[in-house]
Structure 1
Amino acid sequence: MSCSTSRKSLSKAACLRIQKELMEWEASPPPGFKHKVSDDLQSWVVEVVGAPGTLYASETYQLQLDFPENYPMEAPQVIFLHPAPMHPHIYSNGHICLDILYDSWTAAMTVSSICVSILSMLSSSPAKQRPANDKRYVRNCRFGRSPKETRWLFHDEKV
């Protein structure tokens, strides 16, 4: 897969990093995840299966990761495709309130570390429910607003 197939231009460093991560992923994907192969290096779809013994056991969801041109200096945009799991930090439009996707991102993080964090977040949920302000938030995002345009408040350390 080459960088020339991407719809936006990736920096050479971003292209090399994503190719390296893809090769590592194909050799050893995180448990519970499967990359759905496509020709687009800049946008991945990843299947996640809920961990055994959790509220989401055996349920399958899809994550879409869109890499910015300066990845890994900037986090990819990560959303759940419809239908998103019912979770206190996942909005019905698929946006995820998770600090590593925004404020706590570092260039040392990878697609695998993002996936493991998301699965951990799902696994630790005490209830299947939407965030309290889901309807209002989704209404405000109606016109294609990216979750990266949201000013997230991270305050729940339990889930």
Structure 2
Amino acid sequence: MDYLLIPEGAAHIPVPYRSTEPYDCGDFMTYPLRKGWTESQLEGADDYGGRSPAEIDVFFQNCLFFGFLTEVFKIGGFELNQDDFVDHEHGVVTTQSLPALFVAWKKKWSEVSVPLGCQCPTFRDHPDDPRGPPEQYKCPAPICWRIFKRGVFSDLP
């Protein structure tokens, strides 16, 4: 998290960049399967499927950092470039570009109108609602969670 301010005398912990290929931007939940990992191998069975420590490092960094980051920003409608999160000069992962992405996301979502047919209970078209039907006003909620794509294993409606 090298974009955060830290106390004087402290240092950011460098995270070595191990990836040998970019994250494939497919569905996060099926990434292990696409890379030939079984559920038991993810838990360490058979010495992670007989993979070398370097292969294990690459897989988990791609999945848990680049994959998760990609998936989160995909929800907000952003495509990420993995190189924006790598300091190639020092061979480390960097989060320096996150603040600009947070600002862009906030700006993008603050301009989103309530979609037609919004099912959020507090923004429905009630006969006595002085704001009128949802399509006639801007939703005061910064993000409407109901319009986010749910993961394939989610129990959420």
RCO comparison, higher one (Cα < 8 Å, 6+)? 2
What's the TM-score once normalised by structure 1's chain length?
0.21
Which one has a larger percent helix, Structure 1 or Structure 2?
2
Larger Rg: 2
